[in-house]
Amino acid sequence: MRRQRLLVALLLAVGCAGLKPTAEMSEYAKEYKTQEGQQTKLRYPELVGNAEAWDAKALTAQDDKEEEAMAYYGRVAWLWWESAQLRSQAQDLDAERKQLEKDTEQVKKELAEARKREKLAKATVDRMQQIIAIESKVAADNAEVTAAREKIADALEALRLAQAVDADVHAKSTFAAAEAKLKLATEALGKNKPKDATTFAIEAKASADAAKSEAEPKYTSVAADQAKLNRQKSLFDALAVVSGAERAMVEGGVMITIVEAFSTTGVAIDPAHTASFDKIAETAKNYGEFSLVIEGHTDNKGNKTKNLQLSESRAKSVLSHLATQGVSPSRMNAVGKGSAEPVADNKTKEGRAKNRRIEILFASGQ
Amino acid sequence: MGKLYERARSRPSLAVLAFPLIAALALGGPAVGRDDEDDPEAKLQAFTVQLKEHEVADTRHAATSELGKAEALRDKARTLTEKRKDRELLDRTLDELEATLALVGAKIVHAQAKAELDEQKAKMKEIQAELTKTKAAADEAEKKQAELAGKIGGAK
């Protein structure tokens, strides 16, 4: 009798204890709560949603003491969770790579400058060594020789200044002529013909000066193009503050795209997107040299003409909003494109959502 | 959803269980028990195609083990479909296959991102080494230029 009672008590205890979650379930529960886990949920709600659904089933199975079902549901939940985590990590890796690409571009620029510096110094050293080699052969006390040496030194400096503005690239023939004359001058000095040396050196300096004048506008223009490009890159970076928008460097400027900024048929900006447009306005004010082309786009649902009108009204609505935020209307232009320029497949729900968009082109001036 | 889900961990109820399911359905992605995906043969065919695509895409062999598991699940599902019995086990097998394929896809994407980052790091390292070398050469040449400048007087 006593044994029977003990057995019943033992069975009851086992029955009430419940199942222990599997390692995958425990790991999921732990990772889910972390900051990284919540980030994953924000980035991949669909995948995490699946994981949550399966985990909920696993927990129910745990309560119902269905061990096999619990293990199965827990495993599937874990597979979805792991997928989401890996994709989120991949996104971080992509972001790190993009930053590294930018840094690499900067280092490339430094490398180009260092190469230019090296080339210039080496060319000048070569010329100096030629002159010094010749000089050592001729009498130093002769006044004519001294005058020739001074003129050669002047020509040498003029060549260096010309090369500093890339005259060897932008004024190739004039620069080559200057170099040839300098060579003749040093050779004449070597042959102890200081008068000829002086004449050639003066001509060399004149050619080097001409090459410098010829190259300077092109050099400045290249530098200006580079400055414009740098400004575009800076604008691109500044627009990163606009959440939920896509940015792209395009020919002549920077494009920012915001999808589904309006209710289905409305022309007033959805309050959820107001902050994004405010940030665009703030950035636009800091980059006053860019004009703004605001384009409204729709999907292909409904009447074409109505879509065109709707897209134009929405573009104008964005223009008005930016104007109220302090962007000068004279810098802006609003255009409606209707459904004529889709960027995604209109056959799918996701594609249509991508097509319902506002594109703002920050165009750099000429 | 987060708070609701936290409660679900402590005491699951039918309403709580339904919530993520409904959310996933609303999002339109692969979810548990979608009406339009109830045909197991169609599902199996779609997964088989997806598996083939993943096998081709996994050039870095990032998901070899998962691909093996997915193949085994596909074969199991195929056998169950042919026998036309034990529908519950077939559904489970297909659901696990779907989740495994999602993991395979994620592993491939992750491996690709990692490889691209490593490649960029190597590129950066190479350029930085080149920069150090070139800067040293430029410094050396400028030093030499300064030394020679005094000898010919006037040139800088």
Predicted pLDDT of residue A2:
55
Confidence of residue B1 (pLDDT cuts 50, 70, 90): very low
Instruction: Give the whole-angstrom CA distance, residue B14 versus residue A226.
Output: 63
Retrieve residue A229's tokens: 């490009």
Distance from CA of residue A230 to its chain's centroid? 11
Q: Looking at the predicted complex, does its ipTM rise above 0.95?
A: no
**Do the bridges between strand A357-364 and strand A290-297 make them parallel or antiparallel, or are there none, so unpaired?**
antiparallel
- Number of other residues whose CB lies within 10 A of the CB of residue B95: 22
**In chain A, which among 42-81 make CB contacts under 8 A with chain B?**
45-47, 49-50, 52-54, 56-57, 59-60, 63, 72, 75-76, 79-80
The closest of B62, B61, B67, B63 to B47, measured between CA atoms, is B67
User: What one-character DSSP code corresponds to residue B13?
Assistant: -
| Per-residue model confidence as pLDDT tens digits over B74-84 | 999 999 988 87
Contacts with A75 from chain B: Cβ below 8 Å: 96
Instruction: Give the whole-angstrom CA distance, residue B44 versus residue A114.
Output: 60
Q: Which of A57, A65, A116, A128 to probe by mutation at the B interface, max B CB count within 10 Å?
A: A128
**Arithmetic mean of pLDDT, A32-53:** 93
**In chain B, which among 130-149 make CB contacts under 8 A with chain A?**
130-131, 134-135, 137-138, 141-142, 144-145, 148-149
Instruction: Give the whole-angstrom CA distance, residue A33 versus residue A40.
Output: 11
Instruction: Give the whole-angstrom CA distance, residue A28 versus residue A70.
Output: 14
| Per-residue model confidence as pLDDT tens digits over A100-144 | 998 999 999 999 999 999 999 999 999 888 888 877 766 555 788
**Arithmetic mean of pLDDT, A5-28:** 70
Instruction: Give the whole-angstrom CA distance, residue B86 versus residue A198.
Output: 105
User: What one-character DSSP code corresponds to residue A22?
Assistant: P
The residues pairing with A360 across neighbouring beta strands, listed in sequence order, are: A256, A294
Distance from CA of residue B75 to its chain's centroid? 24
In this model, does residue B141 exceed pLDDT 50? yes
**Arithmetic mean of pLDDT, A193-219:** 93
Residue-range domain boundaries for chain B: 1-38, 39-152
Angle at alpha carbon of residue A90, lines to A84 and A96, rounded to 5°: 145
Contacts with B60 from chain A: Cβ below 8 Å: none
Name the residue with tokens 């959820």.
A272
Give yes or no for B152 touching A (CB within 8 A): yes
**Chain B CA closest to residue A98:** B117
Q: Which of A22-36, A159-173, B4-18, B48-62 has the lowest mean pLDDT?
A: B4-18
Position A290: which residue type?
Answer: F
The closest of A32, A87, A86, A85 to A55, measured between CA atoms, is A32
Hey, what CATH topology would domain A242-364 get? 60s Ribosomal Protein L30; Chain: A; (3.30.1330)
Helices A35-43 and A67-135 pack at an angle, to 10 degrees, of 90
Angle at alpha carbon of residue A224, lines to A223 and A230, rounded to 5°: 90
Contacts with A59 from chain B: Cβ below 8 Å: 8-9, 12
Confidence of residue A19 (pLDDT cuts 50, 70, 90): confident
**Arithmetic mean of pLDDT, A93-104:** 92
What are the b/e assignments for A100-131, b being 16+ CB within 10 Å?
Answer: beeebeebeeebeebbebbbbbbbbbebbebb
Q: Which of A3-17, A137-151, A210-224, B96-110 has the lowest mean pLDDT?
A: A3-17
Cβ contacts of B128 within 8 Å, gap of 6 or more: A107
Contacts with B135 from chain A: Cβ below 8 Å: 114
**Chain B CA closest to residue A74:** B96
Helices A143-164 and A194-238 pack at an angle, to 10 degrees, of 20
**Chain B CA closest to residue A132:** B152
